[in-house]
Each structure stands twice: as C-alpha cells, then as structure tokens.
Structure 1
Amino acid sequence: MFELKRIWLDKDKKMFQQWAKLMERSGLSSKESTEYTVGVLNEGVLIASGSYEKNIIKCLAVDKEYQSENLLTQIMIHLMERMREKDETHYFLYTKPSEAKIFHSLGFHTIVENESVLFTEQGSPNIYDYQELLEEHKHEGVASSIVMNANPFTKGHQFLVEMASAKSDHVYVFVLSENRSEFSTEDRINMVKLGVSHLPNVTVLPSRDYMVSTATFPTYFLKEHAPLDVSKTQASVDAQLFKEKIAPILNIRSRFVGEEPFSPVTEVYNRSLQQVFGDELTLEIVPRKEVEGVAISATNVRKALKEKDGQLLAHLIPKTTYDYLKKIKKIEVELSGNY
C-alpha cells in the first residue's frame, strides 16, 4: 500500500537523500528551492514526489517502475488542494515536454515550451490577461524595451532609458512586479515613472509574473547564491516567453540591457537573452554609466543610503529618486553636489 505524506527536506537527511536521488534519476535538479514537498512512499522508499514554492509547482517525479500507478495525478491534486488552502488560485508548473498530456488534462495551459522545459499555468490572471494589458498600452512604430528592478532607480537606469529613447520610436520599460526587494513594487514603479517623465516616448509597465519573477526566473533573486546551471535553464525560459508572448504584441524589436560586471546570475541572463533572441530580436548591451571609474549600481546606492553618504548619492541617483525617497521613506541624509 502506497503512503502519501509530507516530506521535510530541510529536517530529514535520509529522506532528502532519497529525494535528491529521485530528482537525479528523473533528470531534475535537486538544487531547486521548495516551500512544501509531498512524497509517495512504498514501504519507506520514496517512489514519487512533487513540490511547490509560492504558486509554482515543481520537482515532479515518479520512479520509472511506478509510472503506471497514476501517482503524478494524486500528487498534483494534493498540491493544488494545499495551495488553495492558502488562497492561491493561479498556479505555474515547470515540467518535461513529454508530460504535457497529463497536465493539460488537469487544466494547465502551455505558456512556452522548448526541448527541455514545458512552462504552464492554470487559473487567473493569466498570460492572456497580461497580453490584453499590453495591447491597451501599445504605441505606433518600432519599439525597444528595458526590464529593470530599479531597487532603487539610479542614474545608471536613467542613462539606459535615455539611450533607448534616443534610438527608438517608443520604449517600454518593464518594472519587476516581484515584491522581493528592499523597496516595494509600488515605490519602484513610481521612481521609474518620475525618472523618465522627461521622455515622451517612454511607457512604464509592470512585468507581472511573466518577466524575471518567482515563476519564470526564481534564482535571479538569489544573486550570488544561485546555482548557475539552474539559472541558465530558467533564464532561457524567461527569454523565450518575452520573445514569443510579449515582444510581438508591442512590436518590440530590441531590448537594452546594462553590461553586468557585478552579478554572475544577471550575466547568465544576458547571455541567455542573446542566445534565445537569435536574429529575431536585437540585444543592445550598454556599458554601465560610471562615477570616477566605478560602475553605478543599485547596490552602491543602498549602501550610500545606509551610510548617509550624501556626496556619493548625488552622483548615483537622479533628483527625482532622491525627492521621492525623502518623501516616502523619510530619508534624513542631505545631498551634496550638483545635479
């Protein structure tokens, strides 16, 4: 008789070892972060498992010997029931393309697919709702795009947008909706809008779940702690989604990114964008704006804010960012230097 039970991967070493071996046998990574994991055991031996993190179902695996036992469906139903209990009504799922039939039968719809990954979703708001939002903000002409976290918005970000604006009919700046940064999503969007308000051909939009999010690219937020092999797979899915589902709607033909001297994960992302875009989209890699030979970064801004270094902040952030942070965050440091 098979037993369905929760597995505590961070507390049960022996079970983690069984789980890691099951992942390896199934061609999946055991480095994925998980919030909740369930397993099917046969006399104490793990023969199937599935996990979720936030609203992302992942790490689904069934030992080859038991793949006729309908265990995957049982695991999926259990995981979705658990997620509904925490009021999640919109699910994402990474799996192998060979498993498409079973997940489509459970109500999941394909967002993108490549030779190694099938990325699907169920519930709403979904990719079609997001595409409708994009249609509402479409402008005439050939467009370019920028995706940024803006944590916070710096003179480097502003320089990148100004360069894209000068070269494009229209620029769409997507601000990450994922709320995993020091500054809230609302604050980051507001800072970007203020910082680009002098550019009439720029539209600022949210990224929702479809660009550099916990769903499409979770390791992005781990930065230097991210396993780069996992990051590469996720980055490729994110790039493919942008190329196939977002760029065509807004007539985006190019994407501007800053050169990345600091973060290995972001560098992996830039390389993945270049590879996935191929000849269909142009990736413009712009050297970082520098101050006294040092590239501007949001990390340096946050450090200067913490140390109340007004002289350095004057070099790193536009006055719009400073005024906004002073108003909303009640920053006490005064800027020194000229704008």
Structure 2
Amino acid sequence: MSTNITPQDLEKVVPQAEDFLPLLGTDYVELYVGNAKQAAYYYQTAWGFQPIAYAGLETGRKDSVSYVLEQDKIRLVLTSPLQPDGDINKHINSHGDGVKVVALWVDDATKSYKETIKRGAKSYMEPTVEEDQHGKVVFSGIHTYGETVHVFVERKNYHGAFLPGYMAWNKPYETKPTGLKYIDHMVGNVGWNEMNKWCEFYAKVMGFAQLVSFDDKDISTEYTALMSKVMSNGNGRIKFPINEPAEGRKKSQIEEYIDFYNGAGVQHIAVATDNIIETVSELQNRGVEFLTVPSTYYDTVLDRVGEIDEDLEPLRDLGILIDRDDEGYLLQIFTKPVLDRPTMFFEIIQRKGAQSFGKGNFKALFEAIEREQEQRGTL
C-alpha cells in the first residue's frame, strides 16, 4: 500500500462535505476474535488474504496476539487476548467476534485528533508516537457508535511490514487472492432512533456529508423495516452507511444484530472487485456461503435495470444482484454471517459507474435475510 499520497492528491467528489479532516483511505480494520490464529487461516484460505505481519509473545507483547492480512488495499488485523482479563476479553464476552477499530489513514494524526475533539468527539487515544528501526508512526483515536473506535494512523515516515511492534510474517503457505480490491463502504447498525445522532456526529465531528437516505418505505418487506443514511468524506474514499431499526410486524435484521451483538457495531464490510463473477465463483468454491434470492428475480431484472455487459446466466447461477442509478449500474451479493452470532457479514460489489447502494435490490435482499432469520428462530 503506497504511503506517498497527500490530501492534495485526492479530488473532492462530495462537494457538500466540509472535509476539514482530510482522510486518505481506510488504513486497517481490526477485529477482536476468540482465536486469531484460526481466524487468520480462514481469511487466508477462504478469502485469499495474504499474511504480512504478526505481533505476540515472540515480539515481546504479553497480553495479546495480532495477525495482519492484506489483499490489494484491504488490510485486516485479527487480535486475540493472551490473558483472562482486560478490554479484549470484555469485548469478546459482550459482542462475540467483531470489529473494534476502523483505522483511518491520515496525513496528520495530531491535527485529526485536535479537529475532532474540539468538535465534540470523545477521546480514545491521545496522539502517540511509536517507532522502531523502520521509522515512526503517529496514532490518535476517537470513539464512535457502540464500542467501535476510529484510530487515525499517520504512517508517512514508516517503511516496515505494518506498524512498530510487528514483525514480518513469512507466509506459511501460499493462497491465491480472490480479486478483492478495496473497502467500498462499511455499515454501522445503531439502536432505535440513533441514526440521526450518529449521522450528525459524522457531519459535525468529521466533516462528512450525507450522500443518500433510505426510509422504511424504501427498505421494508411484509414483515420488517429499517432506515439508513449514507455518510461520506469529501474524496469519497470513506463511506459509512448508518442503519437503525424501523417499526415492522416482526423483528428486523437490525434488531437481531443489536440483540446478538449486545449493542451498536459494524454490520458489514463491502469489498470491491473488478470481476464479481470470478470473485464470487472462487469464494463459493472455497466454502464462503452467500444469501440467495428466488430465481424469479432474474425473470424481470433486465426490464428494471436495462442492458448490462455481463451474461445473465452466471449472475443467476451465483445469485448476484443487479441495480442501476443515473450514473451506471452495479452488481452485488451478500454473504451469510461469517461469525457464530448472526452479526457481521460481507458484501461483494462491482461498480459499473453506479455510485448508489442497490436500492432496487433491498426488498429481495431483505426477504432473503428474513428466510435466514426464520431458520434461526429470530424473525
């Protein structure tokens, strides 16, 4: 991942974003998990991530262990505790495996901290410098919804494998990447009537702007509903949809998430590919399970979205959904939850010009989720 980009290199594509906090991209996503070694094996084997760095007893860290994996511009950190007490254990006891840190790559972590704190952010980590023989990194951090935090990472003066305190992790074996490119967006689920509060947080504290809004008329089925707003920074590299439950006849997927996660948190990570048919075929071959929609979805989908470059048959075979907006179309599919609790999942997305989020697929998607909820007995 190149560290030579500056905020001036990135075009502003969301003009209404105040953008006093220039973000260069997502630096990494850290999950607290019960068994980091086995989770790392899963993301390597099933998803095609490559091992790049490690921290643990061998590097002098006594209380926890972390494995770092990378695929193109996506970096995952999987962290487990080595002691019976402490914050990581509490997080896992409360939430199960889940995202703790959404780290944001910045040019100036001290400025990022000061700008957000003076606008009302709650401090997670004051600016801190860590260094080793490969250079130095400046960190700072703030709290967001639930127990999720944003850590600002300034790494322009660092040239090691990942961060100070980590050693290069020599590949125990090779796995072929699956074509994943970067994080397109990350969705947060929050409690009843909390969506606007957190959208205002991203607008006021971080200078984001609202791209789009969906209400319960847009996202509802016979049984369940939810509300969603999408917040973006100025260059569009960071997009955070925020979901809250809405009144319905039965328990929505957002309520189910909040019940099992025990609060607000990251619901799904949308990862981009340039060839969704190849990527999803490979992921399915490796055992990743996806939600399916009835085959009748494909009988009329082209009437709704118009002509597309892809042949419809492989999309039908794989269960990939299609939607169109004023700028083009997109292809998307959603995994089943990748954890024991019905909480976090992944979306695979290929954009062919479209900048939207698949509004035309919401009903089919949510009915698919409801079928899974019914099997779990949580609908």
TM-score range, shorter chain: under 0.3
TM-score, normalized by length of structure 1?
0.28
Q: Decide which structure has greater strand share.
A: 2
